[in-house]
Amino acid sequence: MSKFKKGGKKAVPAGSTSSLSDIVFMLLFFFMVTTQMRETENKVQVKLPEASEVAKLERKDLSSYINIGSPVRHLQAQYGTDSRIQLNDSFKTVDDIRDFIAAERDAMSEADRQFMTVSIRADENVRMGIVTDVKQELRRCSALKIMYAARKVTEE
């Protein structure tokens, strides 16, 4: 009188995989919505410093970026390891910032110009000398709204 049958081999029905594609599509949509394409290739290494009190930039379209850091590895043979400024797609000097800001201003509509923010994305190891030069040049171009880009860390 056995309750358990022995030997009766039942085939496990194949799991339906039709929902798999739905899940993957959902993930896909998530990444499609959150993604933004990298417009420019980074030529300098930028590891942002950490800060806990960061505020989010409201209007991404109104910001222009100034990258400061040492060139990426494969360009170091050509440009050395000293900190450089990257505007758009190439290495520039402090004097080029004026033209860069003027070009960025022209690209914006009249009403938005006053809200233009310059985001300084500097590597945590650069010296303040170069950042100060950039800041002075920005003051000369009267681009006064700036932001020091930083990584958000939460403390305890």
Partner 1 sequence: MASKKTPEINSSSTADIAFLLLCYFLMTTTMGSQAGLQRRLPPMPDPNQKVEDQKVNRRNIFIVRINSSDRLLAGSEAIDVSQLKEKTKEFLSNPNNDPNLPEKSEVDIEGFGKYMVSKGVISLQNDRGTSYQAYIAVQNELVKAVNELRDEFAYNNYGKRYASLSEEKQEIVRKAIPQNISEAEPKDITKK
How far is residue 98's CA from residue 120's CA, in Å, rounded to a whole number? 15
Stretch that binds partner 1, among 4-12, 90-98, 100-108, 147-155 (CB under 8 A): 147-155
Query: CB of 115 within 8 A of CB of 144?
Result: no
Q: Which of 2, 4, 36, 74 binds partner 1 (CB under 8 A)?
A: 36
Q: Which is nearer to partner 1, 79 or 117 (CB)?
A: 117
Residue type, 129: G
CB-count burial class (<10 Å; 0-12, 13-18, 19+) for 71 = buried
**In which residue are the tokens 């002075």 written?**
136
51 binds partner 1 (CB under 8 A): yes
The answer to whether the CB of 61 falls within 8 A of the CB of 118 is no
Q: Is 62 in the site for partner 1 (CB under 8 A)?
A: no
The reply to whether 94 sits near partner 1 by the rule CB under 8 A is no
The residue range among 28-36, 70-78, 89-97, 104-112 that interacts with partner 1, by the rule CB under 8 A, is 28-36
**How many C-beta neighbours within 10 Å does residue 144 have?**
11
For 30-46, letters b (16+ CB in 10 Å) and e give: eeeeeeeeeeeeebbbb
88 binding partner 1? (CB under 8 A) = no
27 in contact with partner 1 (CB under 8 A): yes
132 binds partner 1 (CB under 8 A): yes
Longest Cα separation, the chain: 97
- Interacting stretch for partner 1, rule CB under 8 A, among 14-22, 71-79, 96-104, 108-116? 14-22
The site for partner 1 (CB under 8 A) is made up of 17-18, 20-21, 24-25, 27-28, 31-32, 34-38, 49-57, 60, 63, 117, 119, 122-129, 131-132, 135-136, 138-140, 142, 144-152
